[in-house]
Amino acid sequence: MGLIWTIETYLRRTGTTPTRFGRDALGDPRFVRDLKNGREPRVATESRVRAFIATHHQEQL
């Protein structure tokens, strides 16, 4: 799955705003907007985002 698709799914499930997600996951409130505008994250950044989602998804269960 693509990173933006994974993030969008997480946002819908949790009701989190893109700004809040970027701030909480990476300290970058523009992260999701930048991705939609073509930003290509580094491998380490993508790993951090996926780890954040996995951790917080488990907390939601």
The pLDDT tens digits for 10-51 are: 999 999 999 999 999 999 999 999 999 999 999 999 999 999
Chain-centroid distance of CA 56 in Å reads 11
- Measured CA to CA, the distance from residue 42 to residue 1 in angstroms comes to 16
Contact of 61 with 18, CB cutoff 8 Å: no
Least Cα distance to 17 among 26, 7, 27 occurs for 7
Give the Cα-Cα-Cα angle 19, 21, 25 (nearest 5 degrees): 125
Among the ranges given (4-8, 16-20, 28-32, 55-59), the one the predictor scored with the smallest mean pLDDT: 55-59
